[in-house]
Amino acid sequence: MIRRRNILARAFFGILFFFLLGNHFAFAQEQYFKFPVTVEGVYKISSAQLNAIGISDIRNISIYGNAGMLDQKLDSVSLGLREIPVQVIDNELYFFLEGPHTVRAIENTWTYHHHHYTDTLYYLIGSKTPSMNILLEPSSTNTSTGSVYQILTKKEETINILSSGRKWYGSAFNSGQAYNMQFDLPASRQGDLLLQSQVMAQSLQTANFSLSVNGQSRANFSIPSIPNSIYGIKGREENLLIQIPSQSQNTLSYTLNFQTADVNGTAYIDYISVAIPFSSNNLPIGIFHHLGDSPIVITKPANLKTWKVSNMYDVKEVESNSLLSNGEKVVTFNPQNTPSINQWTPAAQNLRNESINSTLIIISPEALLSEANRLANHKNSLGISARVVRLSEIFDAFGYGSYDIVAIRNFLAYHYHQSGQLKHVLFFGKGTFDYKRKITGGRPNLVPSYSSRNSLNPLATYSSDDFFGFLDFGQGEWEESTAGDESMKIGVGRIPAINLSEAREAVNKIIAYESRKNLAGDWKRRIAFFADDGDNNIHLNDAENHARFLSENHPEYILEKIYLDRYEQIRSAGRQSSPQAREALKTTVEEGLLILNYIGHGNETTLTAEQVFQISDFRDWPENELLPLLVTATCEFGRHDSPFLRSGAEEMLFAPNKGAIGLLTTGRPVFSSINFALNKAFIEDVFQEENGERLDLGEIFKRTKNNSLNGAFNRNFSLLGDPSLKLAIPDLNTTVKEIQDVQLELSIDTLRAMQQVRIQGEIQDPMTGAKIMRFGTFNLEIRDKKIEERTLGDESTPTSFLEEGNVLFNSEGVFTNGEFDIDVFIPQNIDYDFGEGKLRIFAILDDGLEAMGANNITIGGTAASNIIDTQGPEVNLKFGYEYGEDLSQFKAYNIKLQAELSDESGINISNNNLGQDILLYINDQEPINLNRFYRSTQNTFKQGILQAPVSGLQEGANQIIFEVWDNVGNSTTVQREVIVDGSQRIKILENITYPNPTSELSKFKIKHNRPGENLMLQVRVFTLTGSEIFKASRRYVMADYLLDDFEWNFFHSKTNYPVKGTYIYELQLTSELDNTMDRKSGKIIIK
């Protein structure tokens, strides 16, 4: 019933929408021009001016616009073009227009509304038959007269206190100083003045103020102190309204003195406004407001035009007199002295005229348009209907040419209701709180975001793109309280690029991720929780709650836990650090993750007070195409709206070939409870499906926000990335059909030590359960019961948490016609108590599709095995620069190890018996555990392969011992001597350039002796006479043995196109570790 009502309501509003806006589709096909206005008043355009823009009949013209800022609250009227009435006088067109900053008289006072986004308002002019004309106001028989007020306001915008929110204040003044401002007063005024001023104080002690006007004391007031805390409010405001006796001077001098006991106390003026009284029956030229309670009569001055302009869309002409109620205003003017509109530019309205049926709209500034279009083309190739829209065209069509962020929301609402297809919007460019570009030298505000009204409370101020997802009629006011919470209707994401280079990197990463997301690797089922310490273990406990939900509801995912308090911490120079935690985080990310979820303290560039992650370290992280979605339930790491600094989230989004594919991240300080609720909503939504399809990031983000509404406190949580992107989750399922005890030839539901079993299963379509008749490879992993681990208790009481169980078996195999079977031997090294273990399978089909699944299975006890195995494993040990080589002498101290292993009972990789691991001893160093590098192969437990990096060799002879155990307790030890000769300096071992001869580009392959180090490669190309025609460098972090991705494209240079002939290239490779360098050269033949 509820669903039926929602459908009917949507249909009703849709009909209303088209009824109200239908004419504007025709209007949008006409030529429109925009012109600027900076102050309210009456303006005119002559017939000659109109002829210049192609309008021949002055009676067939219309003006459109909005008074001040566009309304945040969405209604159908705000989606149309609002026409302003006009009047023709002596072949000239006259009309009244509001300025960007407006005054509204109400209840014996007035409110000043400053435009937050622009100081110049634009209006549209176009041809229309007939024009909307100004009508006559009926005369009044009332004879009551009184005062009306001309209101003058001055406001400076110099500083944004928190670099957040939409309010800016004037220049600061300190204790013992005074702020001065002067107003010129018209001589024809009469009566007492009214003065309104808003003052803000930032003081740890009570702030005391005394106001003088023209040297006379007029008011004393105080503003309470602010708390001395990091997240306490940073200022308090006071609004002052006083009456000033009639002045003889024609100037008003405002002087505000400030005193406080806080030596660092500071005061700021928001605005000063003066209401100047005039008799309603003796008005000069100007704009006048009625502030009184009772209606009064205004008399039209001789030789002046008088209009009632309380409503810009319903202006009435006063012929002789008119009754003026509270809050209404009039304008008196001389047509001969009225300012003319003399500048205009075309204003495109095509966005109103065409129907945009795309599911993804990408809003881009002109500067980033090429990359926005490249992304849209990629999306369209995937079947995602995408459309790029210029930001300037949105302002023209839905903001009347004015810079107003509400125009963006209105544009989206227009097409959301028109087509019913819109799912996501991507803001393609950085947005900052500096709408008016007050800050010089800062990063540009290319695509503006929404800023909170609150600009003084660090915990309640925010920047958010959520506002642009409020597309139902009645939404958008978004009051900053829980009562003001609203739900997004579409997914919203942002790529905050500041230039084409950053935009290109972001698009490259998206295309690579979506084009190669079926790249083999179990990284797609790995999720890491990274939790801070301290605070009574709240961050760890939150992570455990989220991990528990995933373990119970999505057991196919492998959960990694990087909990800071499980690693040793070192105290030095007054702070703590944890090299072990840093290395654990780095290694986990290098191995590839689907999601990295951080919970704890942080700031714009750092995670944890121990600086486990810093953006400055990120430079030395290696490139990695296995990019995670990063979730940061912390403070400010995702502060993407600052023109001053570069947040960690932005660095990770734009880092070439590493970092993150997207981030759900916070841009302001937040409460841990708010973070928990939001993270909980994310965890519960991220793996949901709709109509059998995985959700994209925009839908996940929308649901996450809508399911965790909490007033202003979680509104700064943003999606940085492409909302239409789906995580690289396999499309198909794997399922185990039977587990059979080979010896007993019976199906079983429990795995026991010393038991040989055969596991059979298949690849299935998740929607239908049908078997997928394909070929491919698979990985099967069996884990023992979860292990209880305990933290060290560095900053809080030691606590326990559950870790994934020991790996008992890990194997690669092949499947045929969608079916697989594999022989498994359960080792003797298990936890013999019965409990729930895990069996996971990850499969790759021959067409690149992937499948995964998990089964809970009981593990424990011992089988009555008849196996007889008294021999240790057979070992074929190889060392090389690359896997598979068999060398004994090297010029490098970092090499590769490959061990081919076989045994009748299989190889033990369980950590349950500390004496039976696969261990590598290098000289006299501590042994290295290699269990995780072994995989059995060919659908059997009896043979397999181990491939692992070897580092730490010394110059000269190295004694290496390799020790391995089988599953019943037999061991084998192999000893080898490896000679390292020539590792003291970096050395280019081999290099080639290809193709050679070539006509378009040269690629370089370089082998060297410093794999694992940070290297700098420089390539130079010379003519035979020694003239340099090409030079480029590239830094390699933790470089591979083979560098094969450097190329010289002849046509990238716009000046140095090489002619046919022979050229000399020079390679220079430098180690950052010891600054040693090697050079090689050769010939390139260009044909």
- Examine the domain organization and report whether 234 and 363 are in the same domain: no
Decide if pLDDT at 19 tops 90.
no
- Helix or strand holding residue 509 (H, E): helix 500-515
Which pLDDT band holds residue 293 (cuts at 50, 70, 90)? confident
Query: Measured between alpha carbons, how far is 700 from 689 in angstroms, rounded to an integer?
Result: 10
Least confident of 21-30, 158-167, 739-748, 961-970: 21-30
Q: Is 25 part of any domain?
A: no
Least confident of 107-111, 217-221, 452-456: 107-111
Structure confidence at residue 323 (pLDDT)? 93
The DSSP annotation for 769-838 comes to --B----EEEEEEEE-S-EEEE---SSS---EEEEPPPEEEEEEEEEBTTEEEEEEE--S-S--S-EEEE
CB count within 10 Å of CB 623 equals 16
The pLDDT of 285-310, averaged and rounded, is: 95
Structure confidence at residue 92 (pLDDT)? 95
CATH number reported for the structural domain that contains residue 1056 in this entry:
2.60.40.10
Contacts of 952 (CB under 8 A, 6+ apart): 893, 922, 925
Which pLDDT band holds residue 107 (cuts at 50, 70, 90)? confident
**What percent of the chain clears pLDDT 70, i.e. is strictly above it?**
96
Query: Measured between alpha carbons, how far is 84 from 62 in angstroms, rounded to an integer?
Result: 7
Structure confidence at residue 913 (pLDDT)? 81
Q: Is 1072 part of any domain?
A: yes
Mapping DSSP onto H, E and C, the string for 176-242 reads: CCEEEEEEECCCCCCCCEEEEEEEEEECCCCEEEEEEECCEEEEEEEECCCCCCCCCCCCEEEEEEE
Q: Is 1045 part of any domain?
A: yes
- Examine the domain organization and report whether 44 and 80 are in the same domain: yes
- Calculate the alpha carbon distances from 762 to 221, 658, 783, 818, 845 in Å: 79, 35, 20, 5, 12
In contact, 442 and 432? CB cutoff 8 Å: yes
Decide if pLDDT at 1056 tops 70.
no
Instruction: Please count the structural domains in the chain.
Output: 7
Instruction: Give me the count of residues in the chain.
Output: 1087
- Examine the domain organization and report whether 388 and 338 are in the same domain: no
In contact, 497 and 487? CB cutoff 8 Å: no
Q: What is the pTM of this model?
A: 0.93
Which pLDDT band holds residue 23 (cuts at 50, 70, 90)? very low
- Domain with 947, as residue range(s), is 874-980
Structure confidence at residue 736 (pLDDT)? 97
- Examine the domain organization and report whether 739 and 816 are in the same domain: yes
Structure confidence at residue 388 (pLDDT)? 98
Decide if pLDDT at 317 tops 60.
yes
- Examine the domain organization and report whether 562 and 708 are in the same domain: yes
Q: Tell me the pLDDT tens digit for each residue of 768-781.
A: 999 999 999 999 99
Of residues 1050 and 9, which shows the higher confidence score?
1050
The pLDDT of 147-168, averaged and rounded, is: 97
Structure confidence at residue 246 (pLDDT)? 87
HSE at residue 369, side-chain half, CA atoms within 13 A, is 8
Decide if pLDDT at 16 tops 70.
no
Structure confidence at residue 77 (pLDDT)? 92
Q: Is 415 part of any domain?
A: yes
The DSSP annotation for 130-158 comes to SPPBPEEEPP-------EEEEEEEE----
Q: Is 15 part of any domain?
A: no
- Calculate the alpha carbon distances from 136 to 32, 87, 302, 597 in Å: 29, 11, 17, 66
Structure confidence at residue 106 (pLDDT)? 86
Structure confidence at residue 247 (pLDDT)? 80
The pLDDT of 735-758, averaged and rounded, is: 96
Structure confidence at residue 1054 (pLDDT)? 53
- Examine the domain organization and report whether 744 and 824 are in the same domain: yes
- Examine the domain organization and report whether 926 and 857 are in the same domain: no
Mark out the alpha helices in 309-422 (DSSP H runs).
Answer: 350-353, 369-381, 391-398, 405-419
- Examine the domain organization and report whether 187 and 80 are in the same domain: no
Contacts of 212 (CB under 8 A, 6+ apart): 218, 253, 255, 256, 257
Q: Is 948 part of any domain?
A: yes
Tokens of 708: 């965790």
Last residue of a domain, one of 345, 367, 391: 345
Query: Measured between alpha carbons, how far is 1044 from 1049 in angstroms, rounded to an integer?
Result: 15
Query: Measured between alpha carbons, how far is 1015 from 1009 in angstroms, rounded to an integer?
Result: 11
The pLDDT of 965-985, averaged and rounded, is: 96
Last residue of a domain, one of 980, 1007, 1024: 980
Q: Tell me the pLDDT tens digit for each residue of 663-704.
A: 999 999 999 999 999 999 999 999 999 988 999 999 999 999
Q: Tell me the pLDDT tens digit for each residue of 893-903.
A: 999 999 999 99
Last residue of a domain, one of 811, 834, 862: 862
Q: Is 1062 part of any domain?
A: yes
Residues 47-86: b if buried by 16+ CB within 10 A, e if exposed: bebbeebebeebeebbbbbbbbbbebebbbebbbbebbbb
Tokens of 1061: 């002939």
- Examine the domain organization and report whether 651 and 714 are in the same domain: yes
Mark out the alpha helices in 602-747 (DSSP H runs).
Answer: 615-618, 648-654, 672-685, 697-706
The pLDDT of 117-132, averaged and rounded, is: 93
Q: Tell me the pLDDT tens digit for each residue of 612-626.
A: 999 998 888 888 889
- Examine the domain organization and report whether 692 and 780 are in the same domain: no
Decide if pLDDT at 572 tops 90.
no
- Examine the domain organization and report whether 140 and 214 are in the same domain: no
**What percent of the chain clears pLDDT 90, i.e. is strictly above it?**
87
Structure confidence at residue 55 (pLDDT)? 85
Q: Tell me the pLDDT tens digit for each residue of 697-721.
A: 999 999 999 999 999 998 999 999 9
The pLDDT of 808-825, averaged and rounded, is: 97
Which pLDDT band holds residue 12 (cuts at 50, 70, 90)? very low
Query: Measured between alpha carbons, how far is 840 from 809 in angstroms, rounded to an integer?
Result: 10
In contact, 472 and 489? CB cutoff 8 Å: yes
- Calculate the alpha carbon distances from 1077 to 860, 956, 1020, 1081 in Å: 57, 21, 15, 14
Which pLDDT band holds residue 633 (cuts at 50, 70, 90)? very high
The pLDDT of 307-330, averaged and rounded, is: 95
Structure confidence at residue 780 (pLDDT)? 98
- Examine the domain organization and report whether 213 and 267 are in the same domain: yes
The pLDDT of 33-52, averaged and rounded, is: 94
CATH number reported for the structural domain that contains residue 442 in this entry:
3.40.50.10390
Of residues 400 and 8, which shows the higher confidence score?
400
Q: Tell me the pLDDT tens digit for each residue of 406-447.
A: 999 999 999 999 999 999 999 999 999 999 999 988 899 999
Q: Is 188 part of any domain?
A: yes
Decide if pLDDT at 373 tops 70.
yes
